[in-house]
Structure 1
Amino acid sequence: MKKIVYSLVICFTVFQMTSCKSEAKKETETTKEEVKTEKKAAFVLQDADNVINWTAYKTTEKVPVNGQFQKVNITAGGEADTAKDAINNAEFSIPVSSIFTKDTSRDFKIKKFFFGVMDNTELLSGKLVLENDSIGHANLTMNGVTKKLPFKYTLNGKEFSLNTTMKITHWQAENALDSLNTACKDLHKGADGVSKTWDEVALNITSVFK
């Protein structure tokens, strides 16, 4: 009789241990599933196809010089259930090292003699604010100065497009502008023999959400 009772106790103990392990495994699998199915925002600005085009001007005839920044990082915000909410209040930083004009010599001069002369300008940083359905502004920091840069924009489905013109002198960057003009003196001469680098830069930024 004792042997029978002893056998039953052992069987019951083994069953309990197996059951506990099975429950623990189920809980672990459920936890993993919950992590995998964590909801992602419908619109993520960092994952969008972001293109930053700019146009600067040289000579008294105002000849355009086109370029891009090939990298932008979204440092805060930028995720929401609508495209507009994802853009509104998004904070960004743009490495000036990502500048690209299809001319390596020009890229080098802009980095060294323009941005390199400014204070704390390895990055251009700011925050986007949409005021209504067509206008907004960026609180843009450059040369250690933060200024409001007004812009107009359109938002069609998943495509956001922003257009504006910034005056470099509003960011107290006259020295940087003079430095670049000196480095490019002959290249910025027009038919009149005058070397000029304009303080205006047109910006066109597009973001196409995936």
Structure 2
Amino acid sequence: MYLYTVIYITRKIFNRRKYTLMKKLRYSLVLCLALISMTACKKEVKKETTTPTEEVKKQAPFSLQNAKNEIKWVAYKTTDKVPVKGQFKKVNITAGGEGNTAKEAINNAAFAIPVSSIFTADSGRDFKIKKFFFGVMDNTNLLSGKLVIETDSTGYSDITMNGVTKKLPFTYTLNDKNFQLKGTMKLAAWKAESALDSLNKVCHDLHKGADGVSKTWDEVAIEINTQF
């Protein structure tokens, strides 16, 4: 009887421990599954946040904005027509200017040139041109225009200066990725006589030639070089 009681009590203790152990194992298994599920969700959310939502705009093969652009000009002084060379160091492409070919990128490209970017390698001359030439014009902080290709060697640009928009005819060459344009501005077409007189007055002695006559010409040669 005593032995039976001991065996009975031992079995009950064993079954209770077994039940407790199984319960703990089930709890641990549920906890592990929950942690695995949370980790997987976090990784999935992180992956979604790093996925690009916008397509990158495809860049055209030829772009004026990304090309190397040189805008040079030559003005003239004295009766002997001594050249005064300069350039504009900055040009902004405001519309168009891209294409599958160089000609396509150039044709109908609109631009704006800040007159403040003028450069002649003489700071005193630069100041006078800005203040006493462009500075007396009407609304001429920028020289704006559009390039139009007409034939394989000619075209024109609608230039706005001094509140006037006029066509500037030009010739050009296009060799592979190199574009060169040449034209001549007659300043009277843009009603710039007063600006020219203003500049000649402040540069009177500097624009005198051997004959003692001070002269600033109404003619400015333009050259644009673009390398794509």
TM > 0.5 fold call? yes
CA–CA distance in 2 between the matches of 1:8 and 1:134? 82
2:95 alignment partner in structure 1: 76
Kindly indicate whether residue 50 of structure 2 is the aligned counterpart of residue 26 of structure 1.
Answer: no
Q: How does 1:47-66 map to 2 (within 5 A)?
A: 47-66=66-85
1:75-121 deviation digits (Å, cap 9, x = unpaired): 22222222222212211111111111111211111111100110111
Identity of matched residues, %: 70
Shift in Å, 1:23: 3.1
Over aligned residue pairs, what C-alpha RMSD do you find?
Answer: 2.2
Q: Distance in 1 between matches of 2:149 and 2:23?
A: 82
Residues 27-86 of structure 1: CA deviation (Å, up to 9, x unaligned): 333317x65x54222222122111111000111111111111111111222222222222
Farther-moved stretch of structure 1 (111-120 vs 17-26): 17-26
Q: Deviations over 1:129-163 (max 9, x none)?
A: 11232111111110111111111111111111100
Q: What residue in structure 2 maps to residue 146 of structure 1?
A: 165
Looking at both structures, which has the greater relative contact order when contacts are Cα pairs under 8 Å and sequence separation is at least 6?
1
Q: Secondary structure at the match of 2:65?
A: helix
Please show how residues 20-169 of structure 1 align to structure 2 within 5 Å. 20-31=41-52, 38-169=57-188
42 and 28 in structure 1: CA distance in 2 versus 1, 3 angstrom threshold: farther
Which one has a bigger Cα radius of gyration? 2
Q: 78-87 vs 4-13, which deviates more?
A: 4-13
Question: Partners in 2 of 1:85 and 1:46 — Cα distance?
Answer: 14
Q: Report the TM-score, using the length of structure 2 for normalisation.
A: 0.81
Structure 1, unaligned runs of 5 or more: none
With 189-198 and 50-59 compared, the bigger mean Cα shift is at 189-198
Structure 2 gaps, min length 5 = 1-21
SS at the partner of 2:44?
Answer: helix
Q: For the residues of structure 2 that align with 1:27 and 1:129, how far apart are their CA atoms?
A: 48
